[in-house]
Amino acid sequence: MEPAARIAVQKFCDVWKDAFVSVVESLGAASLAAEWTVPLADALDPAVKDPAVVDSWFVAKGLLQGIVGWRCEKSTAVQFAQLLQSEAANPAAAFDDLQRDAFAEFIRQIAGQVTTDWKADTGNAIELIYDSTVLPQLSTAQTASLQIKSDKFAELTLQVFVDSALCAALNAAPAPETPAQPAAAGPASADPLVSQLSDGPIPNLALLLDVELEAGRTGRDRCKGNRRAGGAEPFEKSAPAMR
């Protein structure tokens, strides 16, 4: 598989890993750790299925189409089923129909978390449909091993399979768009006068008042000078003579 395709498939598997962590934590487990112990590689399709393992397959629909699934030992599946039912972990317990149904519900919750996280991470919707009857071609699939441990159980290992169709769809899926950053807006001004004044120097109001008062005093002084020169005030009427 090409490096770019491997990166795309690994990102998809990492979303599953994080979904396991989220769901297991929501069920009350603490001190949780999850890591890939075996990296992605070509899967081997055994001629005879091991009766001690449990398979859970999902058909992907939408933008991504193909098959993804998980395989684990029954002793691992029963502990996840017990966690879902708030029971103490007992790997020796029988994996009966009740535990099988509980484990199926657990793994469906994981898939539901994956669809939510994948949409949030990539912006692309994906539908994962649980199908216990599907028979994927594992000889062309990619596989990796995930190990999970917490205070509720010891180390549990699961194996993921991503078939060739889904690998190709992941490699061809569009990259998430980066939202454009809005341009920084300048301070808004509702008063046009304020906008005009902000473009130039702000006048000294005290100086303007001094100039206006000085002009007033100058005008009054001129009027007084005219009266001292002996002339009547302009436009002043003389009093009528008494008869």
Judge contact between 62 and 154, C-beta under 8 A. Answer: no
pLDDT in tens, 153-200: 999 999 999 999 999 999 998 876 555 555 555 554 444 443 443 444
Domain assignment present for residue 187? The answer is no
Q: Quick one: 131 and 168 in the same domain?
A: yes
Cα 177 to Cα 198: distance, rounded to the nearest angstrom: 40
Specify if 242 maps to a domain: no
35 - beta bridge partners? 147
Domain membership flag for residue 182: no
Whose CA is closest to 163, among 72, 68, 70?
68
Q: Are residues 33 and 141 in the same domain?
A: yes
Mean pLDDT of 149-156: 94
Measured distance CA(164)–CA(141) in Å, rounded: 5
Same domain? 138 vs 204 = no
Q: How far apart are CA 81 and CA 54, in angstroms?
A: 12
CATH number of the domain that residue 28 is part of: 3.40.1550.10
Residue 183 falls inside a structural domain: no
Residues 68, 128 contacting (CB under 8 angstroms): yes
Q: Do 26 and 143 fall into the same domain?
A: yes
Structural domain includes residue 188: no
Q: Ranked by mean pLDDT, which of 103-117, 132-146, 201-215 comes out on top?
A: 103-117
Total domains in the chain come to 2
Do 140 and 197 lie in one domain? The reply is: no
Question: Which range marks the domain in which residue 39 is found?
Answer: 3-172
Residues 5/167, Cβ–Cβ less than 8 Å? yes
Pairwise CA distance, residues 234 & 223, whole Å: 10
Residue 65 CA, distance from chain mean position: 24
What is the pLDDT at residue 177?
58
Query: Where does the pLDDT of residue 1 fall: very low under 50, low under 70, confident under 90, or very high at 90 and above?
Result: confident
134-151: average pLDDT = 93
126 shares a domain with 25? yes
* pLDDT band at 231; cut points 50, 70, 90: very low
